[in-house]
Amino acid sequence: MTAASVDLVALGVPLTVTGLPAPEADDFRALWRPCLTGAAREGSRIRLVQTQDGWRSEFEDRRWDLAGQDAVVAAAGAAVNAAATTRTGLLAAHAAVVTKNGLTAVVPGASGSGKSTLTLALLRIGWSYTSDEAFAVDRASGELCHYARPVTVGDWTCRTLGLTGRGRRSAGETYLTASDLGAALDLEPATPSLVILRTLGDDAVFLTQAHRMDGLEALLRRGFTTHVDPGEALHLMADVTRGCDVVRVSGGEPQVAAESIDALAG
């Protein structure tokens, strides 16, 4: 089996993924294409190893084992994301970032919060994609930085949004790029103008104004790197979000929630 290496830069962290089988290497490059631009050689190495049950990715002293012979893309992506979010020098929080008509919206949330489903729903109706994983800010300039990794979702999201059959499957999940939805990438530095707090529920969609401190708290709670210097993180995040409106979007089907948010972009 011919193995390939892929160089990329994720959240400013140069990485080299080794051991990718040739066909899957093409899939991986396609999924992570925005992070290949300007990729440097000799980054920190992520090694992929085939196991009896599936694939293992190794980064320094960490290991990720995923079952299934189709799990190589998922194993590589898990290691890249972990390396990027723990090693980045940027101030980063777990949040999606999307843009439309000059409005840059940030959606903080943990896994299972509906963040990725809402992101895809917004991309389907004309929003552009910056990240589904990290709201990342350059500590020196205060500029927003892109991290356009593929959006990873389960079968429920694909069925709900009519996306079944699109993207690439690996380890039981679907990996989608902006182009899979006909959406554009927005990789230019920007200033956030809206923080969206998403609350899941089966009732109708309610969109209500929230306090700016609620948005700031949500971002700080989801920080990847805020622990490095909590005082600096508080001041910088407060400064970056100073001009943001904060809205709480409760309940409703994802596409209906997205359409309620879309109205804010004019």
Same domain, 144 and 247: yes
Distance CA 49, CA 29 (A): 18
- Report whether pLDDT(164) > 70: yes
Same domain, 49 and 121: no
pLDDT at residue 266 in the model: 77
Q: Does this model's pTM top 0.85? A: yes
- Note the pLDDT tens digit of each residue in 29-41: 999 999 997 666 6
Same domain, 63 and 102: no
Number of C-beta neighbours around residue 113 at 10 A: 17
- The residue among 235, 216, 224, 71 whose CA lies nearest residue 152 is 71
Same domain, 176 and 245: yes
- Note the pLDDT tens digit of each residue in 96-127: 999 999 999 999 987 777 899 999 999 999 99
In this prediction, residues 200-216 reach a mean pLDDT of: 88
Distance CA 35, CA 130 (A): 12
Distance CA 237, CA 216 (A): 7
Domain count, the chain: 2
Same domain, 177 and 70: no
The residue from 57, 87, 117 where one domain ends is 87
- The residue among 168, 177, 36, 60 whose CA lies nearest residue 5 is 36
Same domain, 70 and 95: no
In this prediction, residues 128-138 reach a mean pLDDT of: 95
The residue from 67, 87, 107 where one domain ends is 87
- The residue among 245, 228, 74, 266 whose CA lies nearest residue 152 is 74
Same domain, 173 and 64: no
By residue count, the chain amounts to 266
pLDDT at residue 199 in the model: 84
Same domain, 80 and 117: no
Same domain, 180 and 81: no
Same domain, 31 and 144: no
The residue from 40, 72, 87 where one domain ends is 87
- The residue among 82, 90, 81, 80 whose CA lies nearest residue 225 is 90
Same domain, 110 and 75: no
Give the domain extent around 26. 3-87
Specify the CATH number for the domain of residue 259.
Answer: 3.40.50
**Tokens linked to 241:** 């979000």
Same domain, 124 and 214: yes
